[in-house]
């Protein structure tokens, strides 16, 4: 694993215990609803096998379970502390929680009907490798659906940036008890690709039917894309 990824892994291990509460506060309670929307994109494939990457405490995996009670679901993450939280949360019982680095997935080619993730891409050192791995493990015709943060744009952008730089590290200090970790979350969001650039990376990985829906003044995006049936 590269050094940048080990640092990210240590950051998420450190904040796992208070992560869900912080997420609810930072998104004013919207995170769960966005995760349900991501799950909806995945389950609308009608498939029976799903992978939720960067699963954290499993919010998206749990939404997939509710929408598709009979399916097989793997929730994967490279933070053992996050996986430990996921294993013990109510409603997470029959999901298969596994350690996996998104750069090198321990799954077969064409294994999944859909791959989901929330706030993964801005954290990885090798974006193209990570998208290539998702493409590989999807069945032809399968779907990737994701929630991702996005740098603000438009006339309100300077105000939103300022708000994020002040509010999130403050919450991180008072509630999350780790200012640096939440400063990292802000920096990685503000420094991430804009939606046009990320769309090109999905295209370059071979995906088609790429759709993106802005949420929360464009600071969050719900992405979906398809692996074509034939290339």
For ligand SAM, what does the binding mask look like between residues 39 and 58, x meaning CB under 6 A? Answer: ---------------xxx--
**Span interacting with ligand SAM, options 90-98, 119-127, 154-162, 222-230, rule CB under 6 A:** 119-127
Task: Pick the binder of ligand SAM from 50, 101, 138, 168 (CB under 6 A).
Answer: 101
Instruction: Compute the distance between CA of residue 209 and CA of residue 231 in angstroms, rounded to an integer.
Output: 14
In the bound state with ligand SAM, the residue whose beta carbon lies nearer, of 25 and 102, is 102
Residue 61 touching ligand SAM (CB under 6 A): no
Q: Is 12 in the site for ligand SAM (CB under 6 A)?
A: yes
- When computed from its CA atoms, the radius of gyration of the chain, rounded to whole angstroms, is 17
Per-residue CA distances from 208 to 83, 134, 144, 211 (Å): 31, 13, 10, 9
CA neighbor of 56 nearest in space, from 5, 107, 16, 104 = 16
Residue 152 tokens read as 């603000």
Taking the mean position of all CA atoms in its chain, how far away is CA 75? Answer: 11
Would you say 78 or 107 has its CB closer to ligand SAM?
A: 78
User: Is residue 79 near ligand SAM by the rule CB under 6 A?
Assistant: yes
Q: Edge-to-edge strands of the sheet including 220-226?
A: 96-99, 72-77, 49-53, 112-118, 138-149, 220-226, 208-215
Cβ nearer to ligand SAM, comparing 6 with 208: 6
Q: Which residues bind ligand SAM (CB under 6 A)?
A: 5, 8, 12, 23, 54-56, 59-60, 77-79, 82, 101-103, 118-120, 123-124
């Amino acid at each position: 694993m590269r050094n940048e990824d080990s640092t990210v892994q240590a950051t998420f291990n450190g904040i796992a215990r208070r992560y869900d509460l912080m997420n609810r506060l930072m998104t004013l309670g919207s995170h769960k609803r966005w995760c349900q929307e991501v799950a909806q994109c995945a389950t609308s494939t009608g498939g029976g096998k799903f992978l939720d990457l960067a699963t954290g405490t499993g919010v998206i995996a749990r939404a997939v379970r509710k929408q598709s009670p009979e399916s097989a679901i793997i929730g994967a993450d490279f933070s053992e502390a996050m996986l430990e939280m996921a294993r013990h949360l109510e409603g997470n019982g029959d999901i298969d929680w596994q350690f996996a680095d998104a750069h090198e997935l321990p799954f077969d080619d064409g294994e999944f009907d859909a791959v989901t993730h929330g706030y993964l891409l801005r954290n990885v050192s090798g974006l193209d490798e990570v998208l290539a791995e998702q493409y590989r493990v999807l069945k032809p015709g399968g779907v990737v659906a994701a929630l991702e943060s996005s740098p603000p744009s438009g006339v309100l952008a300077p105000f939103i940036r300022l708000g994020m730089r002040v509010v999130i590290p403050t919450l991180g200090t008072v509630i999350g008890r780790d200012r640096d970790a939440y400063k990292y979350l802000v920096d990685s969001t503000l420094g991430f690709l804009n939606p046009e650039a990320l769309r090109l990376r999905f295209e370059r990985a071979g995906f088609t039917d790429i759709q993106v829906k802005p949420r929360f003044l464009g600071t969050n995006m719900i992405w979906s894309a398809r692996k074509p049936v034939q290339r």
